[in-house]
Structure 1
Amino acid sequence: MRRRLRQVLIIGLTLSLLGIGVPAWSEDDDRSCNDLMAADTPAYVVCTWLAKPEEAKEIAEFWLGNDGENLMGAEPLPPITIDCDAPGNSCPDDSVGDGEAHDVGSPDVPGAEDGGTPECQNGEQCYIDPQAITAAEKAAAQETPAGRAAQAVAQTSMRVWIDAELADDYKAGQLTEAAKKIAALAATQPGVVGVRFTSQLGFNQNFTTAEELDKFVAEAATALRALMPGKKLAAHTVMPVFACGTNDTCKTEMTKKYPLLDPERVGTWLNKGYIDQLALDGGLLANGYATWKIDATEAQRNQWIQVRARAWDAYAQIAAEDASMAAGAGSAQLTEEQTTKAISERVAATLQDDAAETVTLWSRWQNDQGQVSRLYGEKWATSATWEQLKKLGSIKPRLATVYDPASPEVDVATDLKNLSEVFGQVYLYAA
């Protein structure tokens, strides 16, 4: 087993050496591979060979030659150790504890006996009251449509998020009460991953100033984290300027039209830890940039280049969201060929761009006129789109959908069972 682990480690290292990395800061650098990128690639996206082709060949021959003799004989590097007793060495002693051995089950902190609150060393908040949400509040949450649906999801393989909108409650001065209801809902089912507390953030919620928007995000995140420690927080928004790429006219117009959706502001939310998952909607990518002759493929490519360049995935999970594959009432379902093309462009390409880790596809939604759009046929009748999606089993954990248990297609149990054939995650809408 140890030999096999060493082989895996060396193979992984070898493959990484054969890859391409960033950055290469000079066009004169003989390790630059910028010539392999498209001519319209932004200047801040650069490329350098970790191992040039001829070097990669030598590396591969070294490890794989003579039936892999060097690979089979590889040993892990010796650990780096420090002798604290050796002359000239100083090892700090900043370990936590009182230096005394304690019996198993005995309290570690004075004041924790018999369920008491531990004393904090510096007066900071270091303890969250588990009774902040009462048993009665949890019981009431379980009886809501979303609460019952969360229990039903346990019969499937899907992970669960609670999907809510706290912006209206915040503007009405009722954030505390609303956050408590949502937190109680998240606590009704142990398998709930977390809460998506807002959608189209900064796009259509009528926030008038950037300061008001920042305050909402900060206060909503703080309230929810205090009520449900350990659960994740998610938000959904749009980044209109990203799809412009290097088109300055487009960027100017999009910034003017959507002044609150400043990438630097969103990056700050991620950096401060307010959001664990950020979903970027693709609704504008289809035809929102035709004025500047940017088609859907280029717009999507531009968006993910911008996301990668900002390293947002270092702070949060990034998701893509798309509702366009669902066929509207009175319109024809996509054919098998059209579905394959749509999956390639809106799912596969998005994941391959390596900026989004998951893709959320709206499987059913209703417009203001009451017309319903679906990925599947009415009452779960078969459709080419749904049958093609069921073939994506290898990436099912990366696919998510949104479901409103108060408006089922057939019934909650049937709907969730069918959705679990395609999706690995579900956002349960809580009104």
Structure 2
Amino acid sequence: MRRRLRQVFIIGLTLSLLGIGVPAWSEDDDRSCNDLMAADTPAYVVCTWMATPEEALEIAHFWLDNDGENLKGADPQDPLTIDCSAPGTECPTEGLEGDGEAHEAGDPDVPGAEDGGTPECQNGEQCFVDGNGISAAERASALETPTGKATKVVAPTGMRIWIETELADDYKAGKLDEAAKKVAALAVAQPGVVGVRFTSQLGYDQTFATADELDAFVAETTAALRTLLPGKKLSAHTVVPVLGCGSNDACKAELTKKYPLLDPERIGAWLSKGSIDQLALDSGHLATEYATWKIDAAEAQRNQWIQVRARAWDAYAQIAAEDAAFTAGQLTEEQATKAITERIAAPLQDDAAETVTLWSRWQNDQGQVNRVYGEKWAASATWDQLKKLGSIRARLATVYDPANPEVDLATDLKNLSEVFGQVYLHAA
């Protein structure tokens, strides 16, 4: 069912991008309520009565006729109860939390603590920390950083928030605990943060020399973050070039040799063990990596998602497609529509990626700024086309650096929220 619904949804999206109408479904179905929807409702959105108006009237009569006789006689089911005083009944109390006694609201939860007060440490100072070991002072300090301030500004926009950082260098320098606690403070300082993306280009860059080092980094970093951030999601970004080869054995052999750390089996193990909740696969290599074997970008992308789907990675974690190509230069309306179809609709339609992360702005080593939108939010054909994808806004995400705004936090994040349902806030 899930697969069918996603196919229907994406087919509708793709056709709408191409300007092709989709005929309304179930026009002759007596349970159809399509006529009650707005005229501009996408054709692939279908309304169906759980109970037709006639059935609803019959239901109402059943409960309300005869002065509500049936309603009055409808008693709730008897609750399950245990009488601990009944002969032969044992209610264990040892080993359970608490003292086994009932307490009134407002009673001290620590022996000797004043009502509403804060427990004291051994030396008498006030040293309260919350359940994840992050102090109130650390949370307050996190909120004063550019990223912390951005978390407060994002909240009214409705976008889901991730904290994006790089912990690989800190791990190599022996400073993982300190760095993890710093990013964790950002993730808990403001309500609404979904989780943390703790690394990018994992295994693709030159940070780790061996597979054992790579596995140790993932294991130790995720363990540290799980302790600090119970309930939060952990994300990682990488590429797996061999997946784009498809059935080409020569391609697979060469890319396995070229990228020995990016073994699909290793990455799949991180997912199946629950180390990572979200895996973002970059598409930056798809256009050039496979030219030797005459595999173009479209075929490489199709091969990649077939492989991801075949490995059932989405059964263990959320899979995201990541793309920076929209910032390569200003596109015409026709070019933008084509890029959206190929780089957004296609990954979703392939039924392996659940979300698509688009870089909307980044700066290279020479200081050149690359944008999807115009400078200072000037008009842009690409941006205008992206704003038409409101029906899949929740599936679109972007990366934003609060320390280098286009205009200011409020203006930038408000504009980004018109296209994206999620944002990764970069933390240095």
TM-score range, shorter chain: 0.7 to 0.9
Could you tell me which amino acid in structure 2 is paired with residue 422 of structure 1?
A: V
Alpha-carbon separation, structure 2, partners of 1:326 and 1:390: 15
State the partner residue of 1:383: 380
SS of 1:346 mapped into structure 2: helix
State the partner residue of 1:411: 408
Matched, 1:351 2:361: no
> How far did 1:229 drift?
0.9
Q: 1:88-103 residue pairs with structure 2 within 5 A?
A: 103=102
> How far did 1:290 drift?
1.1
State the partner residue of 2:250: 249
User: Which deviates more, 197-206 or 335-344?
Assistant: 197-206
SS of 1:421 mapped into structure 2: coil
State the partner residue of 1:316: 317
State the partner residue of 2:185: 184
User: Which deviates more, 223-232 or 355-364?
Assistant: 223-232
Mapped contact 2:132–2:227 kept (Cα < 8 A):
no
Deviations 1:316-339 (A, max 9, x none): 1000000011134xxxx1000000
Alpha-carbon separation, structure 2, partners of 1:417 and 1:164: 22
Alpha-carbon separation, structure 1, partners of 2:90 and 2:315: 29
Decide whether aligned partners of structure 1 residues 113 and 260 sit closer, same or farther in structure 2, where only a CA change above 3 A counts.
farther
Give me the TM-score of the superposition, normalised by structure 2: 0.72
> How far did 1:371 drift?
1.2
Decide whether aligned partners of structure 1 residues 95 and 157 sit closer, same or farther in structure 2, where only a CA change above 3 A counts.
farther
Alpha-carbon separation, structure 2, partners of 1:372 and 1:291: 32
Deviations 1:167-187 (A, max 9, x none): 000000000000000001111
Mapped contact 1:289–1:299 kept (Cα < 8 A):
yes
State the partner residue of 1:85: none
State the partner residue of 1:364: 361
Matched, 1:394 2:391: yes
Consecutive unaligned residues in structure 2, runs of 5 or more: 8-25, 31-50, 56-88, 120-128
User: Which deviates more, 287-296 or 356-365?
Assistant: 287-296
Alpha-carbon separation, structure 2, partners of 1:187 and 1:167: 21
SS of 2:305 mapped into structure 1: helix
> How far did 1:206 drift?
2.3
Q: 1:125-136 residue pairs with structure 2 within 5 A?
A: 130=131, 132-136=133-137
Mapped contact 1:335–1:384 kept (Cα < 8 A):
yes
Percent sequence identity over aligned pairs: 70
Mapped contact 1:157–1:424 kept (Cα < 8 A):
yes
State the partner residue of 1:270: 271
Mapped contact 2:132–2:230 kept (Cα < 8 A):
no
Decide whether aligned partners of structure 1 residues 409 and 243 sit closer, same or farther in structure 2, where only a CA change above 3 A counts.
same
> How far did 1:130 drift?
1.9
State the partner residue of 1:279: 280
State the partner residue of 1:40: none
Aligned residues: 337
Deviations 1:90-141 (A, max 9, x none): xxx99997799964769xxx9999799xxxxxxxxxxx96261111111111
Mapped contact 2:169–2:207 kept (Cα < 8 A):
no
Q: 1:148-227 residue pairs with structure 2 within 5 A?
A: 148-227=149-228
Structure 1: 4+ residue segments shifted above 4 A: 93-102, 110-116
Mapped contact 1:176–1:223 kept (Cα < 8 A):
yes
Give me the TM-score of the superposition, normalised by structure 1: 0.72
State the partner residue of 1:7: none
Aligned-residue CA RMSD (Å): 3.3
Could you tell me which amino acid in structure 2 is paired with residue 263 of structure 1?
A: P
Mapped contact 1:167–1:205 kept (Cα < 8 A):
no
Decide whether aligned partners of structure 1 residues 112 and 309 sit closer, same or farther in structure 2, where only a CA change above 3 A counts.
farther
SS of 1:155 mapped into structure 2: helix
Deviations 1:292-319 (A, max 9, x none): 1111111000000000111111111000
